[in-house]
Amino acid sequence: MSKSLQAIRGMNDILPEQTPLWRYFEGTVARLLDNYGYKQIRMPIVEFTELFKRSIGEVTDIVEKEMYTFEDRNGDSLTLRPEGTAACVRAVLEHGITGGGQVQKLWYIGPMFRHERPQKGRYRQFHQIGLEVFNLDGPDIDAELITMTWRLWGELGIRDAVKLELNSLGTSDSRGRYREALVEYLSAHHDKLDEDSQRRLKTNPLRVLDTKNADTQAVLVNAPKMADYLDDESRAHFEGLKARLDAVGIPYVLNPKLVRGLDYYSKTVFEWVTDKLGAQGTVCAGGRYDGLVEQMGGKPTTGVGFAMGIERLVLMLETLEQIPEEISRQVDVYLCAFGEEAELAGLALAERVRDQLPNLRLQVNAGAGSFKSQFKKADKSGALYALILGDDEMAQQVVGFKPLRGQGEQQSIAWDALAAHLATCVVQG
């Protein structure tokens, strides 16, 4: 196929054999969030470029080199969203739904776009489920967010394979004082830093902390620690969070180098990481961003949120073989009909059964075919039972009911009794 007719590098089709697992994952998260009282919000996937520059920060990897930015026909600079928080904040401000201290607990799902180097677990179009809470400023809500994800890992059967890393970046005051101390220290060791870190030292010094460069890491061993610069309020907040995680029994490790890639975080930051996916180990990340709404022109409004990468979590379910049995089967019953008269009767019968059993996954053979070929299709569909309508069955107004997975002999069921019979032998999802 010519290159121009292929998908763009790093942007993937999610094929029919993969979608059941995606839907199981998305459905599990959606149900959990519903149960905790979060409401879904849907934002456009394109926004004015300025929105991301203002919120994410000019000197972040995303804004410096990862955005899909283009001019539209009006000459406006637009960007495919690289993350969800900016658009969510824009939406709540635009609609005034956080005004007067109104609490909002929101979540969203959808594609995000970043021009990164594609590799396992890292794509240019990827999908996130994100969550944002506005106007709750205590550690209790930070703890709820983390508790919810902890429950999710439990439901998905991957809890043992993830680890919670935690840090506090303090308020912007304490972060400012820490930044000064860090810059002073790093400047004294300027020559030992890698080139990227030398540049970041000028533009975004906290980012030096999460360098992968061994020489720079060696310099960082004796660098000032954020924890020593936390103001009382941030310290109390962090202690409150840890006490709650302890109360629920959620283990965590403190990682003083966890700073997150975006500019807007304050106080709590956290990441759920795994060693099962190679280099792309962070499956869920978030934190508190108390200054962001104001920075974007709103009234002071606290915020906290996280986003999880769906590709990475689906990959984890596959790697750990945590794929529930019921999603591998998509069909309960497959109806085979032989001859036009039987086809007509079969169609009408199928619709009657669907009226009575709306959750039954009933597939009617299409494209006619011999006895052998229809049976082959029935078997391949994964159905538990085949229904058979041939000349004999038509004459007696019955349908042949044949177990396909070795649970007994074929029997004849009267048309009127079919739905009731199916109700007893198929567990409907």
Q: Which residues bind ligand ATP (CB under 6 A)?
A: 83, 114, 116, 121-123, 126, 128, 261, 280, 282-285, 307-309, 311-312
**Alpha-carbon torsion 419, 423, 424, 428, what sign?**
positive
Provide the minimum distance between the beta carbon of 235 and ligand ATP in the complex, in angstroms, as a whole number.
25
Nearest distance from residue 285's CB to ligand ATP, in Å? 4
Smallest distance from ligand ATP to CB 40, Å: 18
- Closer of 261 and 390 to ligand ATP (Cβ): 261
Of all residues in this chain, which one has the CB nearest to ligand ATP in the complex?
Answer: 309
Handedness of CA 291, 296, 302, 307 (dihedral sign): negative
Give the shortest CB-226-to-ligand ATP separation in angstroms. Answer: 18
- Specify the residue, 108 or 338, whose C-beta has the smaller distance to ligand ATP: 108
Name which of 83 and 343 has its Cβ closer to ligand ATP. 83
Q: How far is the CB of 121 from ligand ATP (least distance, A)?
A: 6
Residues 336, 368: Cα–Cα separation, whole Å: 8
Contacts of 285 (CB under 8 A, 6+ apart): 260, 269, 270, 271, 272, 306, 307, 308
Whether the CB-CB separation of 88 and 306 falls below 8 Å is answered with no
Distant-in-sequence, close-in-space partners of 263: CB < 8 Å, separation ≥ 6: 56, 57, 59, 60, 204
Instruction: Pick between residue 280 and residue 322 the one whose CB is nearest to ligand ATP.
Output: 280
Closer CB to ligand ATP, 122 or 151, in the complex: 122
Tell me the two tokens of residue 256: 């003083």
Q: Closest CB to ligand ATP among 162 and 336?
A: 162
Bridge partners (DSSP) of residue 400 are: 388, 412
Which alpha helices (DSSP H) does 189-252 contain, by range?
Answer: 195-203, 214-220, 232-248
Q: Output the smallest distance, CB 175 to ligand ATP, in A.
A: 18
